[in-house]
Structures are given as structure tokens and as C-alpha cells.
């Protein structure tokens, strides 16, 4: 592998920072999201902003994008102080953002999305628009059909549209929020190449990530954000190893050494044979009590469809699915609330809970059969159970009358986990259980999932390879609805190939 | 039925379709920007009165028309205020607007019941009106109908061929994307609602200035609700709105003719026709959408959802 | 100076009362202005309104009588609003209920009260319930907007009533006026006054339906499993799928029950107030019920209270009509205006607004130097 060329030739003192954050502070109610942050973003360099979720990265970027003003401190562009009253002003100042969740209108074409909000006269000419955007795409090597409907594009293609938007506006600072979250390893590599090209042309690039390997491979400079403050800032060339970064990120060796004790495996809880149809292609695997099977892959490759079949939302079109020894149809006909299946979905706020209901009612959501005598609901008993769960799982604030929307992501997830464990499931399906959670919440969730092995088999669907490799006994890689590989975590050779398998390469 | 009768019926259908078309296009603009406006009925009622009183006072039908349009825009501005600034539920706010608007229109108009005004009259277009059959149907109408011929084209052009229209559509699909692009989604929504209100107002003005030249209560007669249904029927496209409006115009004209001809069919049953047709039209659109199975809804994705404030 | 809007963490407590009173005051102020524009005394008109509504004991009784149908319809509307199903069809369901009851009364005039009354109520509730189920089925099977379909059914329902009253059910002895024959005594709800020996004006035994319905509503929502599932479904169909809530069944239930309640109201009004079926039985109670449900935030006691208030408003407007020759449409203006003001005011219950000043230049520089 060729040696990395670190750009240390540009001296930070001689060149004016493109953007400078000066002691920027932001509060949300009681939470101090950003605390006195000072940062310089230099042209022609790639800076990585490294930090856990909840460290304040998104807030910082939102202020740079002009969405809301800081409570303290200010922002400078090319040496002059700016106070953005709207995103329009930030864009005019040359700051361009590519969000983790793309800000694209699915029902409009690529050209329309790129030219949205741009000066260019009152009247539009669709053919001219398509030609313009096509030329821009070619110039930067971003292949895309300008007339295509964005809703029909893949994630990698949609990201290209977002980049085109910035290039069209001639943004001088390009900020990427978790850019590889939805890309295959191959697409990520081509993104990195494009970023290096743009940086070579003098653009200032900032990318936010929590993936240590990525950061080391791409960045010139690294800044670490922890609990709302800049914990440290250094050149990538000075960093010895990912472990060093990890330690700086959380203040201790977090490369998360979780206690994984061995657990005896028991009977079969899930048996999937040749499951096909609706985005799935001949999927087969089994799951026993006592083991965790991780399904990894880039989002959108059949994981959601698989989960919907296993959890009873959609019927298996062809193939067989046996849950706890029963055929799919029979199992979902008599759904016991206890001792059966529990599902922890990815969308904890919009699906797993009702935001406007309090915690007791949210407990009842999946356990109501256990608190009902015929039609009568034993609310007082439910309140007692909710209080127990809140205490046992350390859900903050400890008030069961609080409504779900008032809980932070981590606490809500702990509650959902507590609720589902209350049901004593024998098969547990957990989707992206620690997405958006801080380290302590992540650890808590991981511990519970490992404990759950004693009484259940756990199907873990995740895009986070670290999580999969830490928790699981076996790993299945999905690509376009097919299982590309299924192997134990101890098989180092296969584990090496996970990246290629995720991209559909079977050599 | 003799050919003369059919031609007369079709001509009456075109006339009856005009106010519905204006109202439908107005509601469409509002919904394309993401705001559901159920107050169209009230808006049309108020606009009808505003147009009447202005024409009555000044003698100018054109001024009356403009007054109707602006009254509509103003009332819809109220809806915009309640939903965008005060984050009110769009459904309930629209209903409140209907109750308020219809009440206000009847209240203010009480002293004028039965009085007449100048209004618009039939103007036969030279040359065009001499075309056999088509000339009699389309080109011997009053000026507002001719205006109605341009309206769908204007709305289509605005939405698909202008940058403002593009921004408005983006706001109706995903306000966050419009904001990220540097636009102001709240302003765009307000634009959609109020310009839509202006069009609805024109439709209302038509009712008191051209449809009849009198003032009575209950002039809007449920047309506002038909307009809301027609937007769904038209799959939010201006072109199809014309078909829907013409269909309703035809049924209303037919029903009137039948009543006037002294038929045996009880009037209550005849009066049911437009309302029953609205339900049928909705059922048809829904069934079509279902069986086409495109997986996409034609409705703007952010319709009915208020934009929450940030930070 | 910028306006900063934040979502409230804690409830306002007594502030809720302040917000509602403020909204009402604004609505009344606007109405006073409209009165003045019309050439009538603004404040004076409002005073007559209040006096007419609350001044005499008979006006309070009158309000109670009017509150009965409004309350029943409102409970039905609130049930479906809880699920975010917008049942606008109370008016039409009311009409169908009146029709159903009339059918029984005209078909079995010989039956004694204790047999005929239940039959009438049953028929009314079935008719109203069925009318409410139509939009529900259309929504479930085809995704048709229940707002428009239920609204259209309002118009159609009223026309059905008129069709029957002008047609087959017209009383030959009525000299061409649209009305049915008077119901037999077994089909008319009696007034409370004579039975109890008190002067109770037009107040009738139909009143009992209200506490019964109110308690049933309350118990259903807070104590039963279905009631809980209903509230959970209000969050949306996705959660319903996840938690396996019987969404479809609940849609049918709320629209059916809502229709039944409105139908019951229709039968009570027809039987107690008119004693026969006439188009004048339609007084817009179905629409007022929607206003009440929203103002009362779907809770039973506030619904009772607000029903009474809006009924009193109607009584007051009637007095204004008599004494000031103010058109009856003024009542609609008030209802619509109050609802608009309250919707706007409810914003302050969920959000707090404060003015913020960005740090002046000098302070910012001083802070930097310290850092």
C-alpha cells in the first residue's frame, strides 16, 4: 500500500482560515450542547470532527449551516464576523452541508433538486437545467442522470446529488455529516477520492464521523469533540493508532471490551428456509437460544423486509419460516405477549413508542394482554411494573408520568429494552439498537442483549460492524436480499472479507 | 333530447364549472405548498359578498372581482397565521374558517338579500363564437369564464416552469430540503395559501357577479367542499382539474334543467346529485391509485404537516 | 432581538385558564367590532348576549336543553378525533337518527311508551351508526378521506330527511307544511317539570342520556383495553402495526359509535322538542359539536362544560336576534371566531416564547480575551 501523503506543507499561520468558530456555545433547555468551541477550518485541507453521538457535532454543524444562532461566541468567514439569520446567508457565505439524512425532494428530478433555491431567473427551462447539471456532473466525475427521479436513486447516487448541489453553488467549505453511513465500502472509497480531488482544488472539507479507521485514512487534521467541548486537535500524521483516538474520544479505553461469557445453546427459536420474495432472495439461517446472530450490510439490502417477515408484519411469499417451533402462520395467529417474540425496532420514537403517551401507557403498548382482565385494564398494576422497569434500567428522568417525547434517545431505548425484556421473550429481534446513543447507554444496551442470551436467541440487525463483532456469535452479511456469507465471528478470514461481501463481491 | 338542448346544456355546464375550477386551482396551490385548507367554502362565501358589495357600491364588476380575490387571500392569510405561526391543526382551523366565513358572509349580507347588481354579462367572442357547436358552448360566455380558460395554464406554468413554483413544490414535499437549499419554507407556504386564496376568492366572486346577479344566503352551496375533493381527483395536477370541474358543472347544470322542466323526480333527490358525485369521484380516485400500485402517492408528502420551529 | 420558541417541558397548570380566557376575550372583542360595523352597539350587544344567556333561570334551562344534543354529538366526535379520524359527519348522522326514530314512531303508534321509546332509540342509533360507518369503510378499504365523505353525507343525510318529510311521510293534515304527523304520546319524551312538580321549562327526560353517555365514554377510555388501544392508535398506523393494535376495527368502532351517539341526539331532539319530524330539527348541532370537542381537548368534563357554554351562546344570540335584530348568522361567527382564537391560543400551552438579544459586540470581544 502506498504511503499516505500528509499535507503538512500548508502552514496554518500564513493562510487565513476559511471559517473560524470562536468560543461558540449553544444550550437546549438544560442541556449544554456546545461549550465554548473554537475551531479553524482551512482551505485545501480535510478536517475530521470525531465524536460520539451526543457530543454536540450535529448542533455545531447546524449553527454553521445557519439554522439557528449560537447562544454565545460567534462565527467568522474569511476573517470577518458573520451572524447568519437563515440558511440562505450561510449558503451565500460559501458554506455547504451534506446531511446524514439527505435533504432531497424524492418526487423531483436530480436537476430540479440541484437547482432548487438557486438564482437563475424566474422562468425555468427543464431541458437547459438537465444539460447544465449533466455537464457539472461530468466535470467532477460524478456519474448521474439529471432527469432521473431522486426517489428512484440508490443512496450512493443520492449522495452524489447532494455533492452536486454544493459544487453548483461553488461552496468553499463542504461539510459532510457521517457520509459513509449509507455507502458500501466500494462507494466509500470513490467518495474519498472525490473529496481528495476537491480538497486539492482548494475547497475546505470537514467531515463528521465516529468511525476511527475512516478518519485516519482520509483526514489531514482531526478534532475530537467530547461532551460539547473540543477535547483535542492534532494532525493525522501525529496519531499513533485508532486506540489512541478512541481513548481521547471517551476518556478511557473504550474499544469496548465487553465481558462476553459463554452461554449454553438451547433449542431452535428461529428457522428460516429459502425465504424469497419482496426484496429477499433465498435466505436461509437458523437461530438457537443462547446465541446472537448479527445481520450486517448496508441499509436497504433486505434487512427491513427480513425483519418484517420474522416479526409478523408481512407474510413470507415463498419458503418457510418457523418461529419457536411453529409455522409462521400458526405462530402469528395466537400471539402470546409473554415468552414469545419481542421486537425492538430501529425507529424508537416513531414506532416503538407513542410520543404523546406517558411511560405507563408505553409499557402497556406491547404488554397490555398481561394487564387486562377481559376488557378491564389494571392500570395501577401497570404503573407498578413501569416504576420497576424505570428503576432497574436506570431510565432518566425517573418519572413514569413523563411523556415519551421528553426522554432522550438513550433513555427511551433503555425503557424499550426494559419493556421488551419484561415480556420474557424467547426470540428477540433488535434493529440498530444503539444508533444515536452515547457510550454509557450503548454499554448498558449491549450488556442487556448479552444477558438476554440466557433465555432467548437474539437476531441483531445492525450496520455497525463493531457492534456486530463484539456481541454476536455468528454473522450473516446481506446484499440485495441475499445472504452473501454466514460464519462464526471467530473465523478471521471471513471477517476480513465482510467489506467485500457487503458490496456484493463473492470471489 | 334535441341537439339545441344538448348544446345549451353543455354551455351551462361550462358556466357552472368556472367557479369550481377557480376554487379547485386555488386549493391546489395551497396543498402543493403543503397546507390543507378546508376553509374554501367559507372563503368563497366571503369573497362572494365582498365582490357583490364592491360592485354594488362602485358599479364596476372588475373592481368587484378584485375585491373578491383579495378578500379570499386575506381570509386564507388568517388560516396561514393560525397554522404556520400558531401551529394550529390544519384540519380544525380550516373547519373553523368555514364556519366563520359562511357566518360572516350571511351576517354582513343580510340587509342586501334579494338586491341585484351589475356584474358580468355574456360577451360573444368575435369569429370564435361563430364556430358551429363549439362556438356556442365555449365562446358565448361571460368574461370570467374566459378568464377561467387561462387559469389552469397559468397555474401549471407557475408550478412547473418558474423557480418560485419549484420552491413552493419543494416546500410541500419536504420543507427541510427547501430550508437546506436556502429558501424560506414558511414564506413559500404563505405564498401558496394566499395566492390560492385569491383564486378561491375569484371563484366566490363569480357566484355573486356572474352566476346570479343577486345576493342570497348560502350562495356557495357546498362548492368549496367539491373543490377540495376535486384536487384529490385531479391528482394535484391543474390539467385534470379542468376535467373534474367540467364534470361537476355538467351535473349541476343537468340537475337545474331537470328541476326547471317540472319533472316528477323530487327535488331533494336531484339536489343530492353533486354531493353523491363527489363521493363517487373520491372512491374512483382512491381505487385508481390503489390499483395502479405505483407505491407513490400523488399527494405532496408534507401535506397537512406543520413546520415545527427549531432551536 | 429575535423570538425564541421552545417546546414546554412542564404543563402550564393554571396558565391554561389564562390562555383560554385570553382567547375568548379576543374572540368576543372581534365580534363586538363586527357588531359595531353592522351598526349595532358593540359592547352593548355583547352585554345583551350575556344577559340573555345567563340572566334568567329560564334561559339557563333553555341552554341545558340545547346542550343535550350538542353534548351527545360531541362525545361521538371526540371519540374519533382521539384516533385522528376526522368525523365531520355528526350533522348527517343526527339527521339519520331522527329519521330512524320517526320510522318507528310512525310505524307503531299504538305501542306504549316503555316499548316504543327503546325501539325509537335503537332505530336511531342503528341508522346514525350505519351512516357513520360509510365513511369508515371507505377509508379502510380505499383510503378515501373521511373528512370529505362524511361531510358530503351530511348534505345527503339532510336531503334524505327532507325527501321523506316532503314525500311519503308528509302529514296530510299539515296544509302543505313540511312535517310528519305528530307522534303518539308513547313516542314523545316527556318534560321533567310536570313529573317532578317543578318549573323546569322545556327540560325533558332526555337529559338522563347525558350522564349515562358521559360515564360510559369516560370509563371506556380510561379503564378498558380497547380505550387504551384507541389512544395508542392516535399516534398513527405504523405504531398500530408494531403493537398489533386493531386499527381497522377501531376505526369502524369510533365512527359507528360516533354515528350512534349523534343519531341518539337526533331522536331525542325530534321526540322531545318537536314531537314530529320537520326539517327544522336540523339546527347545526353537529357542527357545534366539533367546535366543542376541540375546545374541550376531547375530555369528558370539559366537553360537558363547553357544550353548556356554546348552548348558552345560542340562547344569547336568539335574544340578540329579538332585541337588536341581529341576524342569526352571528352565532356562527362567534363559534368560528372562538375556535380560531382558541386554536391559536393553544400554541402557548405547548410552547414558550421569549425575546432574545444577541450578545453586543463589546461583550463578545471581552469574553474572547478572557478565554
pLDDT for position C363 = 39
- Give whole-number Cα distances, C9 to A361, A488, C16, in Å: 19, 47, 14
Task: For residue C344, list chain B residues with Cβ-Cβ distance below 8 A.
Answer: 81-82, 85-86, 88
Helix, strand, coil abundance in chain A, percent, nearest 5: 35, 25, 40
Task: For residue C332, list chain B residues with Cβ-Cβ distance below 8 A.
Answer: 99-100, 102-104, 106-107
Residue B99 half-sphere exposure, CB side, CA atoms within 13 Å? Answer: 26
CA A314 to CA A300: how far, in whole Å? 17
Q: Where are the domains of chain B?
A: 3-292
Joined together, the cell numbers standing for residue B309 give: 420551529
pLDDT for position B154 = 95
For residue A487, the cross-strand partners are A475
- DSSP 8-state class, residue C370: H
The nearest alpha carbon in chain B to A93 belongs to B182
Q: Before A397, cis peptide (omega within 30)? A: yes
Q: Could you tell me if A298 and A423 lie in one domain?
A: yes
Site from C242, C357, C365 to mutate, A interface, most A CB atoms within 10 angstroms: C242
- B268 interfaces chain C, CB cutoff of 8 Å: yes
Please report the DSSP string for B145-202 in residue order. HHHHHHHHHHHHHHHHHBHHHHHHHHHHH-HHHHHHTT--HHHHHHHHHHHHHHHHHH
Domain extent for A124: 107-170
Q: Could you tell me if A215 and A246 lie in one domain?
A: yes
Asked if C163 lies within 8 A of B266 by C-beta distance, the reply is yes
Q: Could you tell me if A133 and A189 lie in one domain?
A: no
- DSSP 8-state class, residue C205: G
CA A205 to CA A42: how far, in whole Å? 8
The nearest alpha carbon in chain A to B166 belongs to A116
Q: Where are the domains of chain C?
A: 67-188+206-296
- A356 interfaces chain B, CB cutoff of 8 Å: no
Helix, strand, coil abundance in chain B, percent, nearest 5: 75, 5, 25
Asked if C347 lies within 8 A of B98 by C-beta distance, the reply is no
Q: Could you tell me if A208 and A251 lie in one domain?
A: yes
Site from A24, A27, A84, A354 to mutate, C interface, most C CB atoms within 10 angstroms: A354
Low-confidence ranges of chain A (pLDDT < 50): 1-12, 252-255
Chain B / chain C CB contacts < 8 angstroms: 147
Give residue ranges of B with CB < 8 Å to any A CB: 160-164, 166-167, 169-170, 173-174, 176-184, 296, 300-301, 310-311
pLDDT for position B105 = 94
Residue C287 half-sphere exposure, CB side, CA atoms within 13 Å? Answer: 22
Q: What are phi and psi of C354, to 5 degrees?
A: -140, 155
- Give whole-number Cα distances, B74 to A236, B47, B80, C172, in Å: 60, 10, 10, 50
Minimal C-alpha gap between B45 and chain A (Å): 34
Site from C3, C9, C228 to mutate, A interface, most A CB atoms within 10 angstroms: C228
CATH assignment at residue A458:
3.40.50.300
Q: What is the 3-state secondary structure (H, E, C) of A239-255?
A: CCCHHHHHHHHHCCCCC
- C131 interfaces chain B, CB cutoff of 8 Å: no
Asked if B99 lies within 8 A of C88 by C-beta distance, the reply is no
Asked if B96 lies within 8 A of C336 by C-beta distance, the reply is yes
| pLDDT per residue as tens digits for the range C43-74 | 888 888 888 888 878 888 899 999 999 999 99
Which of B 132-191 lie inside 8 A of C, CB atoms?
none
pLDDT for position A405 = 82
Q: Which residue in the set B91, B99, B266 is minimally distant from C166, CB to CB?
A: B266
pTM equals: 0.86
Length of chain C: 371
The nearest alpha carbon in chain A to B173 belongs to A105
Residue A496 half-sphere exposure, CB side, CA atoms within 13 Å? Answer: 4
ipTM rounded to 2 decimals: 0.90
Residues C321/C326/C329/C335 CA torsion (nearest 10 deg)? -80
Degrees to nearest 5, angle at CA A106 with C143 and C6: 85
pLDDT for position B227 = 94
Minimal C-alpha gap between B60 and chain C (Å): 24
CA C306 to CA B115: how far, in whole Å? 39
Q: What is the CB neighbour count within 10 angstroms for residue C350?
A: 11
Number of helices (H), then strands (E), belonging to chain B: the values are: 12, 2
Minimal C-alpha gap between A297 and chain C (Å): 23
Dmax over CA atoms of chain C, in Å, equals 97
The count of structural domains within chain A is 3
pLDDT for position B294 = 61
Residues A85/A87/A92/A96 CA torsion (nearest 10 deg)? 140
Strand order in the sheet with A72-77: A31-41, A19-28, A72-77, A80-82
Asked if A121 lies within 8 A of B163 by C-beta distance, the reply is yes
CB of A324 within 8 A of CB of A427?
yes
When computed from its CA atoms, the radius of gyration of chain C, rounded to whole angstroms, is 24
CB of B48 within 8 A of CB of B203?
no
Mean pLDDT over B12-25 rounds to 94
CB of A377 within 8 A of CB of C224?
yes
CA A394 to CA A434: how far, in whole Å? 16
Burial label for B38, CB within 10 Å (0-12, 13-18, 19+), is: buried
Mean pLDDT over B224-248 rounds to 92
Last residue of a domain, one of A196, A229, A255: A255
Report the topology of domain B3-292: ABC transporter involved in vitamin B12 uptake, BtuC (1.10.3470)
CA B138 to CA B146: how far, in whole Å? 9
- B221 interfaces chain C, CB cutoff of 8 Å: no
pLDDT for position B186 = 94
Q: Does any domain span residue A382?
A: no
Q: Does any domain span residue A286?
A: yes
For residue A430, the cross-strand partners are A344, A460
Residue B166 has pLDDT above 90, yes or no: yes
- 3-state secondary structure (DSSP) of residue A451: helix
Low-confidence ranges of chain C (pLDDT < 70): 1-2, 356-371
Task: For residue A376, list chain C residues with Cβ-Cβ distance below 8 A.
Answer: 223-225
CB of C189 within 8 A of CB of C274?
no
Joined together, the cell numbers standing for residue A388 give: 420497576
CA A414 to CA B168: how far, in whole Å? 41
Between these two residues, B217 and A147, which has the higher pLDDT value? A147
> Would you give the end-to-end CA distance of chain A in angstroms?
21
Q: Could you tell me if A87 and A37 lie in one domain?
A: yes
- C216 interfaces chain A, CB cutoff of 8 Å: no
Q: Does any domain span residue A375?
A: no
CB of A216 within 8 A of CB of A242?
yes
pLDDT for position A10 = 43
Asked if B100 lies within 8 A of C34 by C-beta distance, the reply is no
Asked if B182 lies within 8 A of A67 by C-beta distance, the reply is no
- A34 interfaces chain C, CB cutoff of 8 Å: no
Degrees to nearest 5, angle at CA B291 with B290 and B293: 75
Last residue of a domain, one of A170, A186, A204: A170
Hey, which chains touch A, using 3+ CB pairs under 8 Å?
Answer: B, C
Amino acid at each position: 500500500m502506498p504511503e499516505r501523503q500528509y499535507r503538512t506543507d500548508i502552514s496554518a499561520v500564513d493562510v487565513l482560515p476559511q471559517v473560524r468558530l470562536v468560543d461558540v456555545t449553544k444550550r437546549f433547555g438544560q442541556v449544554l450542547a456546545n461549550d465554548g468551541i473554537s475551531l479553524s477550518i482551512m482551505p485545501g485541507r480535510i478536517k475530521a470532527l470525531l465524536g460520539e453521538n451526543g457530543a454536540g457535532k450535529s448542533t455545531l454543524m447546524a449553527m454553521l449551516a445557519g439554522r439557528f444562532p449560537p447562544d454565545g461566541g460567534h462565527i467568522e468567514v474569511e476573517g470577518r464576523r458573520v451572524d447568519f439569520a437563515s440558511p440562505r446567508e450561510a449558503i451565500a457565505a460559501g458554506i455547504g452541508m451534506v446531511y446524514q439524512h439527505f435533504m432531497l425532494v424524492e418526487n423531483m428530478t436530480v436537476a430540479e433538486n440541484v437547482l432548487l433555491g438557486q438564482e437563475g431567473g424566474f422562468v425555468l427551462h427543464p431541458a437547459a437545467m438537465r444539460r447544465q447539471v449533466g455537464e457539472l456532473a461530468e466535470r467532477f466525475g460524478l456519474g448521474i442522470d439529471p432527469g432521473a427521479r431522486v426517489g428512484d436513486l440508490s443512496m450512493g447516487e443520492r449522495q452524489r446529488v447532494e455533492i452536486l448541489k454544493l459544487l453548483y453553488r461553488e461552496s468553499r467549505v463542504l461539510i459532510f455529516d457521517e457520509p459513509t453511513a449509507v455507502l458500501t465500502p466500494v462507494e466509500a472509497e470513490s467518495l474519498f477520492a472525490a473529496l481528495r480531488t476537491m480538497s486539492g482544488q482548494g475547497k475546505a472539507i470537514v467531515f463528521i464521523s465516529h468511525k476511527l479507521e475512516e478518519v485516519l485514512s482520509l483526514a489531514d487534521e482531526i478534532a475530537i469533540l467530547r461532551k460539547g467541548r473540543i477535547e483535542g486537535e492534532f494532525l493525522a500524521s501525529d496519531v499513533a493508532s485508532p486506540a489512541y483516538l478512541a481513548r481521547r474520544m471517551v476518556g478511557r479505553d473504550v474499544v469496548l471490551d465487553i465481558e462476553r461469557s459463554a452461554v449454553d445453546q438451547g433449542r431452535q427459536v428461529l428457522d428460516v428456509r429459502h425465504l424469497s420474495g419482496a426484496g429477499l432472495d433465498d435466505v436461509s439461517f437458523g437461530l438457537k437460544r443462547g446465541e446472537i446472530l448479527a445481520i450486517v450490510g448496508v441499509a436497504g439490502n433486505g434487512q427491513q423486509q427480513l425483519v418484517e417477515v420474522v416479526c409478523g408484519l408481512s407474510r413470507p411469499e415463498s419458503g418457510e419460516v418457523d418461529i419457536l417451533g411453529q409455522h409462521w402462520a400458526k405462530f402469528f395467529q395466537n400471539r402470546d405477549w409473554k415468552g414469545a417474540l419481542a421486537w425492538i425496532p430501529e425507529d424508537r420514537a416513531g414506532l416503538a413508542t407513542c410520543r404523546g403517551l406517558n411511560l405507563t401507557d408505553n409499557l402497556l403498548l406491547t404488554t397490555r394482554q398481561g394487564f387486562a382482565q377481559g376488557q378491564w385494564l389494571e392500570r395501577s398494576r401497570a404503573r407498578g411494573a413501569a416504576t420497576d422497569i424505570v428503576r432497574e434500567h436506570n431510565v432518566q428522568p425517573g418519572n413514569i408520568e413523563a411523556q415519551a417525547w421528553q426522554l432522550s434517545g438513550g433513555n427511551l431505548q433503555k425503557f424499550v429494552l426494559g419493556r421488551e425484556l419484561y415480556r420474557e421473550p424467547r426470540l428477540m429481534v433488535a434493529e440498530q439498537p444503539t444508533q444515536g446513543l452515547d457510550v454509557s447507554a450503548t454499554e448498558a444496551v449491549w450488556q442487556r442483549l448479552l444477558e438476554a442470551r440466557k433465555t432467548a436467541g437474539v437476531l441483531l440487525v445492525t450496520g455497525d460492524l463493531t457492534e456486530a463483532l463484539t456481541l454476536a456469535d455468528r454473522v450473516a452479511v446481506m446484499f440485495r436480499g441475499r445472504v452473501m456469507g454466514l460464519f462464526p465471528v471467530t473465523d478471521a478470514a471471513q471477517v476480513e472479507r465482510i467489506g467485500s461481501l457487503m458490496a456484493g463481491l463473492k470471489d | 333530447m334535441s341537439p339545441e338542448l344538448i348544446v345549451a346544456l353543455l354551455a351551462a355546464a361550462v358556466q357552472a364549472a368556472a367557479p369550481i375550477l377557480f376554487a379547485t386551482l386555488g386549493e391546489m396551490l395551497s396543498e402543493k405548498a403543503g397546507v390543507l385548507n378546508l376553509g374554501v367554502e367559507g372563503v368563497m362565501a366571503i369573497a362572494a359578498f365582498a365582490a357583490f358589495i364592491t360592485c354594488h357600491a362602485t358599479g364596476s364588476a372588475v373592481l368587484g372581482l378584485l375585491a373578491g380575490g383579495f378578500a379570499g387571500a386575506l381570509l386564507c392569510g388568517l388560516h396561514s397565521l393560525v397554522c404556520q405561526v400558531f401551529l394550529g391543526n390544519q384540519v380544525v382551523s380550516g373547519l373553523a374558517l368555514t364556519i366563520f366565513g359562511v357566518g360572516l358572509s350571511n351576517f354582513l349580507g343580510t340587509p342586501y338579500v334579494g338586491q341585484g347588481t351589475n356584474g358580468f354579462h355574456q360577451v360573444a367572442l368575435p369569429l370564435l363564437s361563430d364556430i358551429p357547436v363549439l362556438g356556442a358552448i365555449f365562446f358565448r360566455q361571460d368574461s370570467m369564464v374566459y378568464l377561467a380558460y387561462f387559469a389552469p395554464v397559468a397555474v401549471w406554468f407557475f408550478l412547473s416552469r418558474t423557480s418560485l413554483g419549484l420552491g413552493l413544490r419543494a416546500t410541500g414535499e419536504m420543507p427541510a430540503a427547501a430550508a437546506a437549499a436556502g429558501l424560506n419554507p414558511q414564506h413559500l407556504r404563505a405564498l401558496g395559501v394566499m395566492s390560492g386564496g385569491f383564486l378561491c376568492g375569484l371563484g366566490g366572486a363569480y357566484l355573486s357577479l356572474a352566476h346570479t346577479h343577486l345576493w342570497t344566503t348560502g350562495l356557495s352551496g357546498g362548492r368549496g367542499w367539491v373543490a377540495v375533493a376535486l384536487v384529490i381527483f385531479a391528482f394535484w395536477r391543474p390539467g385534470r382539474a379542468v376535467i373534474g370541474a367540467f364534470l361537476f358543472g355538467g351535473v349541476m347544470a343537468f340537475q337545474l334543467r331537470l328541476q326547471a322542466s317540472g319533472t316528477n323526480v323530487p327535488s331533494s333527490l336531484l339536489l343530492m346529485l353533486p354531493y353523491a358525485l363527489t363521493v363517487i369521484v373520491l372512491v374512483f380516485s382512491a381505487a385508481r391509485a390503489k390499483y395502479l400500485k405505483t407505491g407513490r402517492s400523488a399527494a405532496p408528502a408534507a401535506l397537512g404537516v406543520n413546520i415545527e420551529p427549531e432551536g | 432581538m429575535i423570538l425564541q420558541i421552545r417546546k414546554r417541558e412542564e404543563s402550564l397548570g393554571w396558565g391554561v385558564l389564562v390562555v383560554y380566557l385570553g382567547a375568548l376575550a379576543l374572540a368576543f372583542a372581534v365580534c363586538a367590532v363586527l357588531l359595531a360595523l353592522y351598526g349595532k352597539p358593540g359592547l352593548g350587544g355583547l352585554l345583551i348576549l350575556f344577559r340573555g344567556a345567563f340572566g334568567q333561570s329560564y334561559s339557563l334551562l333553555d341552554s341545558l336543553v340545547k346542550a343535550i344534543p350538542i353534548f351527545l354529538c360531541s362525545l361521538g366526535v371526540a371519540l374519533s378525533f382521539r384516533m385522528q379520524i376526522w368525523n365531520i359527519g355528526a350533522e348527517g348522522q343526527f339527521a339519520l337518527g331522527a329519521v330512524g326514530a320517526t320510522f318507528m314512531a310512525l310505524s307503531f303508534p299504538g305501542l306504549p311508551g316503555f316499548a316504543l321509546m327503546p325501539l325509537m332509540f335503537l332505530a336511531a342509533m342503528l341508522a346514525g351508526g350505519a351512516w357513520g360507518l360509510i365513511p369508515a369503510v371507505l377509508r379502510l378499504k380505499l383510503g378515501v378521506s373521511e373528512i370529505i365523505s362524511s361531510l358530503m353525507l351530511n348534505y345527503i343525510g339532510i336531503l334524505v330527511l327532507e325527501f321523506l318529510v316532503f314525500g311519503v311521510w308528509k302529514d296530510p293534515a299539515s296544509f302543505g307544511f313540511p312535517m310528519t304527523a305528530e307522534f303518539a304520546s308513547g313516542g314523545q319524551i316527556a318534560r321533567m317539570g310536570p313529573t317532578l312538580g317543578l318549573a323546569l321549562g322545556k327540560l325533558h327526560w332526555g337529559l338522563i342520556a347525558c350522564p349515562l353517555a358521559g360515564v360510559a365514554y369516560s370509563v371506556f377510555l380510561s379503564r378498558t383495553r380497547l380505550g387504551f388501544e384507541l389512544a395508542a392508535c392516535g399516534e398513527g398506523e405504523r405504531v398500530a402495526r408494531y403493537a398489533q393494535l386493531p386499527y381497522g376495527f377501531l376505526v369502524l368502532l369510533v365512527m359507528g359509535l360516533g354515528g350512534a351517539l349523534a343519531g341518539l341526539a337526533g331522536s331525542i331532539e325530534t321526540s322531545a322538542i318537536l314531537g314530529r319530524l320537520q326539517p327544522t330539527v336540523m339546527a347545526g348541532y353537529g357542527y357545534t359539536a366539533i367546535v366543542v370537542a376541540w375546545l374541550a381537548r376531547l375530555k369528558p368534563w370539559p366537553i360537558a362544560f363547553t357544550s353548556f357554554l356554546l348552548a348558552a351562546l345560542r340562547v344569547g344570540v336568539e335574544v340578540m336576534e329579538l332585541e337588536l335584530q341581529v341576524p342569526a348568522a352571528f352565532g356562527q361567527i362567534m363559534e368560528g371566531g372562538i375556535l380560531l382564537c382558541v386554536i391559536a391560543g393553544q400554541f402557548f400551552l405547548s410552547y414558550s416564547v421569549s425575546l432574545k438579544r444577541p450578545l453586543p459586540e463589546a461583550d463578545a470581544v471581552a469574553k474572547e480575551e478572557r478565554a
